[in-house]
Structure 1
Amino acid sequence: MRNYLLEDIYEEDLKKISKALTDLEFTGGLEGIYYIPVPEDLLQAEQKEHINECGPYFMALEVLEEGLKLELLVRARNKLRCSCVCYATTDQRNHMLDYLDNFINDLEISL
């Protein structure tokens, strides 16, 4: 699995991040898992075709004991297995890395 890993984050900062993600209603099905939406304008052609059946699309962010792990896999909320579920394109990946970095900076957390 391809991941973006941020390590050595203070516990109080992780709690701040978790609260902000919960406030945005990005919570997933399991504790500590959050679903970060992929903007529709960044979806691949097949993902756009499948959006009504499989979507919406997201990348999973896991809050770990000392950090964050963002899976670089674009998942579909309504289907586990489909050809539209695939690794992020360069544009999707860059958007999500920038989004996460900016999100953390907006919370005034320095890494």
Structure 2
Amino acid sequence: MKQYLIDGLRLADYQKLKSYFDEYLISSPLGGIYWLELDKKLLTPIQKDHEGCHPHVFALELGETSLSCEFLVRIKKNIKCDCMDYATRKQRNWLIDQADAILEQLDICI
């Protein structure tokens, strides 16, 4: 799996991120997994056309010492669809920018 991995988190960093994610992101039934909704302006043509699959999301996995942001654009409603795919360059850069902005906002220095 292609991903953006931030490791070396301290317990205090983990707790800040968990509180933030619990408040602002949608949690998955699987522990430690959160859904970050992709900005609709960045959807590919097929993702835009698949309105029944919206929202398109990235999976963020928060562990006690790391945050993993997968580069796979997923949907929450089905297991598989043609509109699921690895992120485009713009989508990938957006995800990295979002993760970095959250760390900066929470004053987490890695």
TM class by smaller structure: over 0.9
Q: Distance in 2 between matches of 1:25 and 1:65?
A: 18
Give the deviation of 1:29 after TM superposition: 1.9
Match in the other structure for 2:90: 91
After TM superposition, which residue ranges in structure 1, 4 or more long, deviate above 6 angstroms?
none
Q: How does 1:27-46 map to 2 (within 5 A)?
A: 27-46=27-46
5+ unaligned residues in a row in structure 2: which ranges?
A: none
Q: Distance in 2 between matches of 1:21 and 1:33?
A: 10
TM-score scaled by length of structure 1: 0.95
How many residue pairs get aligned? The number is: 110
Report the residue type matching 2:30 in the other structure. Answer: L
TM-score scaled by length of structure 2: 0.95
Match in the other structure for 1:8: 8
Q: Distance in 2 between matches of 1:25 and 1:101?
A: 15
Identity %: 34
Q: How does 1:38-77 map to 2 (within 5 A)?
A: 38-51=38-51, 53-77=52-76
Give the deviation of 1:76 after TM superposition: 0.7
Give the deviation of 1:25 after TM superposition: 3.6
